[in-house]
Structure 1
Amino acid sequence: MRNLKSPLVLFVFAVVIYGILVSIHYTTSLFYQNGRRNFVRHQNTNLNVNQKCICKSEKTGKVYDFCYTDPQNYSSVGKKFDCVHVDTLERLEVLNYREPLPTASELIKNEEEIVFVSTSSDDHYQHSSKSYESVRKYYPNHKYILYGLHMSSEYIKRLPMDTNFEFRQFNTAQYPEYVSQWLQYRFKPLIMAEVSKEFPNVFWIDAHISMKQPNVVKTFFEEVATNRSSDDFSSITSFLDTGHSNFAVLFPELLEYFPSNSFPLLKMSEQVAAGIIHIPRTEHTLQIFKWYVLCALEEKCMNPPGAQIYCNFGPNRYETFANCFRFDQSVLNLLLLNQFQNPHKYFIKLNNYLG
């Protein structure tokens, strides 16, 4: 009997060990398959964070990681952001948001919840007015918020008399003084973060963007519900392309803060426009916005030394640097491309509807 039991015990033992190994392999594979999501969740925890990257809130006592890590390469860590920005990010509820938050697919069930948000300064008022009128043509009853960039009383008096229209003067006093340098576009991520505290379904539209056809929101919602409900897609979505790569308009100093795993990817991937984007208040959106807002607050991040908006494109708008920078747009694209490795994960082309 002893000789019969011994092989049986060994067999059972081998089966158990095999099961454990399979389980470990499955768990490890699942971690890497969901690496983007696991990494993003790691960003707001205190686990395994380099002590040199830690910033502690004096108000809440919470500790945050202020060094960006490439989601595709955990050993590639960017330059630390200044801890002085902790209070602002907590005020904007980008760091200290309450879980659980809805998913993007849960937020696209009701078109009426969409809130349109835009900005204008005095010199952009004509563009802003046309943009507003184009939205109102197809969405007469939706809430529309216009943030003024130091708009004067003369132009404020011209604003529409609309019960669903709200004007807010952007308060720059609570931010570094260079936020008021409008051509650095720091105001965009900051206003987006401000307004997302109140409204979970924001449709951001720049002053120079107009709607050309009806059913923009419906078309977008249907596309998401049909083809993009997976977590493999970004919750933040752009709707217009640019005709050039990320590399063409990327100052290398930005990579000191947000290292990228692939220069070939930067050259082959088209940059998408940040002029009209859907911003649902989801966990993923806020985790991207952590870095987006930090870059806007950090003096040399969203305005690398020598950066300029005027480009010198050559015949190849993908592989050649055009000696220009797209400020907020370049930053947001880099964050999304690093995360998803494919612009189609955060882009739905609606050029026929918008322009």
Structure 2
Amino acid sequence: MAHLTKLFPIFIILIFLAFLYICKYLPLINSKKNNENEINKKNIEKVKKIKFVGAENYEKFDCKNEKMSYNWQILNKSAGKIIEEVGKEFDCKHMNILNKYKLTNQIKLPNNYKATEPGDKEDSAVFVTASDAKQIDALISLIGSIKHRFGTKQRIIVYDLGGILLNAKMMYYIRNLCSVEYRRFNLNQLPPNLRNIKTFAWKIFILAQSHLEFNTFIYVDTSVRIYNGDFERHIYGINKRILSPFLFNMGTNHGIKRATLPETFQYLPLYTSDEIDIEMQETHFIIVQKSEFSKEILKWAILCALTKECFEPKNNTKCNANQLYIKDDNLFGICHNNDKSVLTILINNAEEEIISKGNSNLILHSSYNHHSRRLSIFPFTNYQILKDHRDNPEEVLKRHKC
């Protein structure tokens, strides 16, 4: 007992020292743990925010060195220097569409192409058109005018934009007309905000599909009628490199800038040389020859048609004729012509680049002597005129039934 009494002061001192240690160092330990916990929480949040791409989706979003920003380099002779413009980058998620239609940079098409005229030969140019149920009578008249000029066996591809399959009358004609092939167009391949057929994004996809399949094809709207149909000098011009292998039939008599919203030019900048504006082209009749030139046009056109801000930056921007033809050189972006705007920009720039590289024989679409101004077609733009000039469907079927 006396021994324990002697040790008691020592125990008291040890307890006191332990108390001092706890008071001094425990807050530091807790603070360190709190800091570590806070850091861990922040790191966990960062990890949560990372969007991991599964192996099955990786290919879809990988551009694989594909150029996704449109650009051009053109020699401006008056300025004495090369001018270059680069547009906004398109999304890599559209690579699957480029691959589908074989429009990537990795695919190079030969330059020794040879365009062919329409007709009943195996390698003759194919006519391609599209219609919904509302334009059935106009479609039959178009088919009749093509068959009348190029023969019963002239091949025609008809894309259904809605309702034709459900129309027994139309399906009866298509099934019985010789060399007329019906295809349903899948609007779901377009972005939801560009599926309305009045946006005309579908037209770019039909052009891309036709370019994939055919050596030479002629796209026609149902508002077109073929009369003379003598395309010999135009096909000759394409083969001699006098005309580009993506040929429009006529201009609109107003400028591109006037009828195109500025957002489109952010993706597809326009070269205008020393001119204020360039004439826009109509897209209701287009002769296309499979070529590297046409492939490049369609690559950028389809990327734009997949991008709302490029193809149709704003809704309800139809062009009013009263505004389009006002004499005012500074009146730009008053409306938007979707497919006309996009295709004319691309064709104009591509042709300017060719001339810049030394092909002085090429005739620009914007030139007064371009062959397209003498194409033998008659495009109806007034519905009443179109109604008065329809062929009788029964007569069309009678003349061109297989």
Aligned length: 293
* Residue 128 (str. 1) matches residue 139 (str. 2): yes
2:115 aligned partner:
107
Distance in 2, matches of 1:332 and 1:149, equals 21
Q: Could you tell me which of 337, 349, 373 is aligned with 1:326?
A: 337
Tell me how far 1:158 sits from its aligned partner: 4.7
Q: Is 1:70 matched with 2:84?
A: no
Distance 1:67 1:194 in 2: 22
Distance 2:115 2:181 in 1: 23
> What does residue 234 of structure 1 align with?
244
User: Structure 1 residue 147 and structure 2 residue 155: aligned?
Assistant: no
1:260 aligned partner? 270
Q: Is 1:94 equivalent to 2:103 in the alignment?
A: yes
State how far apart, in whole Å, the 1-side matches of 2:206 and 2:117 are: 25
Structure 1 SS opposite 2:263: helix
Matched to 2:332, the amino acid is F
Q: 1:338 aligns with which of 349, 369, 375?
A: 349
Question: How far is the alpha carbon of 1:84 from its aligned partner?
Answer: 0.9
After TM superposition, give the deviation of residue 74 of structure 1 in Å.
Answer: 6.3
Deviation at residue 59 of structure 1 after TM alignment: 9.1
In structure 2, give the amino acid aligned to 1:283: E
2:319 counterpart (296, 310, 325): 310
Matches of 2:316 and 2:276 in 1, distance apart? 18
- Percent identity, aligned pairs only, is 20
CA distance in structure 2 between the aligned counterparts of 1:189 and 1:85, rounded to whole angstroms: 14
Normalising by structure 2, we get a TM-score of 0.66
Query: Which residue does the alignment assign to 1:187?
Result: 202
Closer, same or farther in 2 for the Cα pair 1:250/1:119, shift >3 Å?
same
1:353 corresponds to = 377
For 1:109 and 1:158, the matched residues in 2 are separated by: 29
Q: Please provide the CA RMSD for this pair.
A: 2.7
Mark the CA change 1:100 to 1:260 in structure 2 (over 3 Å): closer, same or farther: closer
2:218 maps to what in 1?
203
Tell me, which stretches of 5 or more residues in structure 2 are unaligned? 1-57, 75-81, 353-363, 380-402
Give the aligned partner of residue 301 of structure 2: 292
Once residues 304 and 181 of structure 1 are traced to their aligned partners in structure 2, the CA distance between those partners, rounded to angstroms, is 14
Deviation at 1:71, TM superposition (A): 3.0
For 1:150, the aligned partner's letter is: G
2: CA distance, partners of 1:173 / 1:132: 27
* Contact 1:272/1:333, CA 8 A, preserved across alignment: yes
Residue 288 of structure 1 aligns with an amino acid whose one-letter code is I
**What secondary structure, in the 3-state scheme, does the structure 1 residue paired with 2:173 have?**
coil
* Bigger Cα displacement from structure 2, 156-165 vs 166-175: 156-165
SS at 1:89 equivalent: helix
The equivalent of 1:50 in structure 2 is: none
Structure 1 unaligned segments of length 5 or more: list them. Answer: 1-55
SS at match of 2:145: helix
Deviation sequence 1:257-288 (CA, Å, 0-9, x none): 01224385352x22121110111110111011
Structure-2 change in CA distance of 1:266 and 1:351 (3 Å): farther
The CA distance in 2 between the partners of 1:279 and 1:265, in whole Å, is 27
1:302 CA drift (Å): 0.6
> What displacement does 1:314 show?
4.2
- Between 1:299-308 and 1:249-258, the stretch displaced more is 299-308
The 1:114–1:317 alpha-carbon spacing in structure 2 relative to 1, beyond 3 Å, is farther
- Report the AA paired with residue 70 of structure 2: Y
Partner of 2:255: 245
Distance 1:250 1:180, change over 3 A: same
- Cα distance in 2 between the residues matched to 1:350 and 1:294: 32
CA distance in 1, matches of 2:72, 2:141: 40
Report what 1:221 is aligned to.
235
TM-score (norm 1): 0.74
Question: Stretches of 4+ moved more than 4 A in 1?
Answer: 56-61, 344-347
Query: Residues of 2 paired with 1:325 and 1:107: CA distance?
Result: 32
In 1, are the aligned partners of 2:70 and 2:300 still within 8 Å (CA)? yes
- For residue 310 of structure 1, report the CA deviation from its aligned partner: 2.8
Say if 1:235 and 1:223 are closer, same or farther in 2 by CA, change over 3 A.
closer
